[in-house]
Amino acid sequence: MKSTATMNIFIKTATLIAFLATSGVNANTSRSEVTYYFDSMLAADPAAVPTSAGSESTGTGTVTVKNDGTVMMDIRWEIRGEDGPINEDNAVVGIHIHTGDEYTNGPIVFGFCGQDPLPSFGGTCQQGWSYDSAQIATKYAGKICDMNVKDCYNYGQTSAKEAAQLLIDGREDMYVNIHTTKSLAANGKAGALGLIRGQLRLKEESSPADSDGDDWSHMTSTSREMKSSLRGGSV
């Protein structure tokens, strides 16, 4: 009788250990597949780019980021007033993610498109419609800035996976920046500060269905402040 009870306890314990081990593997695997969504509202930022004061140009961007370093951007922009028009003489010459807050001009982390004199990254930027200098719903794949120059984050020594994790964890402030021919000329020796820009704000995260087919892909709104608080850090 005692032997049977002992055997039952052993079986239950072994089953529990196996369950916990399997759950841990599934959780880790699923966590690596989480997609994070960041929003950015682009506009003039005179505190960081004095020459942008008075700009009427605006834009919006949604950036999706995965733990493996995959970064995609869906961006819309309108170049207005004296900033335009967008044409052969005044092209969109770069769209990037930089490090820095709204008062800071930082190096490029991920580049999406560009042309001389800026790096091309994924190729020439879409130039919108000439009659209204606007572009709607253009998707770009991000490429890590890996050149050994000061204009690349950490002199290009940070991998795409590491950089993505910095953004996900909120360890680095980052912003989206659009550069044009006119903005390059206006900023002169100050460098490629850009025309309009917007800080990246964590909007939500999405997880895929688990391996058993149970749908746990619910969307959760998670502020960076809350994530930082959960980590015990400061905002």
The residue length of the chain stands at: 235
Rounded CA-CA distance 147/194 in Å is 20
Residue 231 within a domain: no
Residue 5 within a domain: no
Residue 192 within a domain: yes
Tell me: the pLDDT tens digits for 161-202? 999 999 999 999 999 999 999 999 999 988 889 999 999 999
Tell me: the pLDDT tens digits for 35-92? 999 999 999 999 999 999 999 999 999 999 999 999 999 999 999 999 999 999 999 9
Residue 121 has pLDDT above 50, yes or no: yes
Tell me: the pLDDT tens digits for 154-166? 999 999 999 999 9
Residue 117 within a domain: yes
Residue 28 within a domain: no
First to last CA, the chain: 60
Residue 119 within a domain: yes
Number of structural domains (the chain) is: 1
CA dihedral sign, ordered 80, 65, 162, 166: positive
Residue 2 within a domain: no
Overall average pLDDT of the 117-141 stretch: 88
Range of the structural domain that residue 183 is part of: 51-73+94-141+151-202
Residue 177 within a domain: yes
Global pTM value: 0.77
CA 55, 59, 61: angle at the middle one, nearest 5?
Answer: 150
